[in-house]
Amino acid sequence: MKTEKLIELIDLYFDSELKQGQEVILFTSLGADSQAREYFKKMNSLHSVISESLEEFPQTLDHKILNKLEQFDNKTSTAFLSQKVFTSITLLFSIILLAVSIFFFSKSEEYKVQLVDLTREVSMQNEKIFSIMNTLPEVEVKMPYIRMKMIRVNGESKEHRYIRSILPEVKVIENYIKIKEVKVTAKI
Amino acid sequence: MKSSSQKIIEFTIIYNRQKTRLYNYAFKMLWDQMLCEDIIQNTFMKLFENMEKIKNTERIETWLFTTVRNQIYTMFRNKRVHVDQFKAADSDKLEIYSEINLEDQYEELEIKELVMKELNSMPVEQREVFLLKEYGGFNYKEIAEMMGISLELVKSRLHKTREKLIKRMSKIII
């Protein structure tokens, strides 16, 4: 196997990415390739140097984080408590609103019923009036007709004058008085 | 809903398991104790606040490292000038190190420190892959997902980083 390929396998081995089958190939091939063996050794020492270079987590930071966490937790619980109070108040307010709404709703229902009753009464009255009106007989009015009536008189007599005084439209033609006769017929 | 004490216990278990790895990753990315501590503290507080939500959506370990990573990159973006200066100073230092006698260097610094210095001199992207692998304990796929790069790039960056570190070590050991 070529050295480059072996170096690639060594990289994979140290990165824990090497497949099980390849591990056997790598270690078998390492015996035959001194350059790859050298690279393996160097990689091994680099790996241990890196492991040793791991800095310890600073204690001050540890305290800082844990203190902040405690504060944060307290704040959260306070916030939770205030949230609880707020929820209770909101719930109470909602219940009150619900009660008021139910009250107004029942009231409006009452008014609605009253209105329906009144409407019904009014319509009944209306019907009553209508029926009363309809019980009267039918009235029929016909066109008046005018007929001239001729009355015979003797000259300018007393009667003639009298008739003329009460009926100015009467005309005397020779010895006749023409009287407008008006007749109105009505049917009930 | 879980009780507060149960939540604290659960958090403490995660905290104790992850704190050292997370701290080492952050510290070796930033090389700034104060910034690193701030980031770690913020991350664990965020975890405590949203533990239930996080547990339901992803692996806590991945979430922790991704959150720290995002904060580190935000810091890099905000303090770009500072980072650049820091890098430049480091590369100067490295040159000096390279020129002086290795025996003297060996006397002054342990191998570990030298390796760390070499690691620190590397570009952030390269260093990060190595740190996520060594301190985070993530596999190639997880690192690729976290960094938004391909699997091959992860492998190549890791190999290059190791090569550089081995080269540096070889000068001292052999």
Contacts of B170 in chain A (CB under 8 A): 42
- What are the distances in angstroms from CA A150 to CA A108, B153, B173? 79, 140, 166
The domain made up of B80-173 is a member of CATH 1.10.10.10: yes
- What are the distances in angstroms from CA A121 to CA A81, A109, A127, A130? 60, 18, 10, 14
In chain A, where the domains are located: 3-52, 56-136, 141-187
CB pairs under 8 A between A and B: 78
Nearest residue of A to residue B119 by CA position? A50
Cβ neighbours around B21 below 10 Å, total: 20
Q: What pLDDT score was predicted for residue B102?
A: 58
Nearest to B23 among A16, A46, A55 (CB): A55
Contacts of B4 in chain A (CB under 8 A): 73, 76-77
Q: What percent of chain A has pLDDT over 70?
A: 70
Tell me which residues of chain A, numbers 10 to 49, contact chain B at a CB-CB cutoff of 8 Å: 11, 15-17, 39, 42-43, 45-46, 49
SS3 content of chain B, % helix, strand, coil (to 5): 85, 0, 15
Mutate to test the interface with B, among A56, A65, A70 (most CBs of B within 10 A): A65
pLDDT tens readout for residues A30-50: 888 888 898 898 888 888 888
β-bridge mates for residue A145, sequence order: A183
Q: What pLDDT score was predicted for residue B2?
A: 57
Task: Decide: B24 and A55 in contact? Cβ < 8 Å.
Answer: yes
What number is the average pLDDT over the span B103-123?
A: 73
Residue A108 confidence class, pLDDT cut points 50, 70, 90: very high
Mean pLDDT of chain B: 80
In chain B, where the domains are located: 4-78, 80-173
Q: Which pTM value belongs to this model?
A: 0.60
> Is any Cβ of chain B less than 8 angstroms from the Cβ of A79?
no
| Better pLDDT: B128 or B105 | B128
Mean pLDDT of chain A: 80
Q: What pLDDT score was predicted for residue A50?
A: 86
Nearest residue of A to residue B114 by CA position? A49
CATH code: domain B4-78 is 1.10.1740.10
ipTM over 0.85: no
| Better pLDDT: B79 or B137 | B137
Residue B155 confidence class, pLDDT cut points 50, 70, 90: very high
Task: Decide: B113 and B102 in contact? Cβ < 8 Å.
Answer: no
pLDDT tens readout for residues B49-87: 888 888 777 788 899 999 999 999 988 888 753 444 344
Q: What pLDDT score was predicted for residue B97?
A: 47
> Is any Cβ of chain B less than 8 angstroms from the Cβ of A64?
yes
Mutate to test the interface with A, among B36, B64, B134 (most CBs of A within 10 A): B134
Mutate to test the interface with A, among B16, B166, B173 (most CBs of A within 10 A): B166
Q: What pLDDT score was predicted for residue B109?
A: 59
Nearest chain B CA: its distance from A15 CA (Å): 7
Nearest residue of A to residue B117 by CA position? A53
Nearest residue of B to residue A8 by CA position? B159
What number is the average pLDDT over the span A62-81?
A: 78
> Is any Cβ of chain B less than 8 angstroms from the Cβ of A110?
no
pLDDT tens readout for residues A119-169: 999 999 999 888 887 776 666 666 666 666 666 666 666 666 676 677 666
pLDDT tens readout for residues B90-109: 433 444 444 555 565 554 45
Q: What pLDDT score was predicted for residue B91?
A: 39
Q: Is the per-residue pLDDT at B146 higher than 50?
A: yes
The answer to whether B4-78 and B80-173 have equal CATH topology is no
Long-range contact pairs involving B125-128 (C-beta distance under 8 Å, separation at least 24)? B125/B157, B126/B157, B126/B160, B126/B161, B127/B28, B127/B29, B127/B161, B128/B29, B128/B69
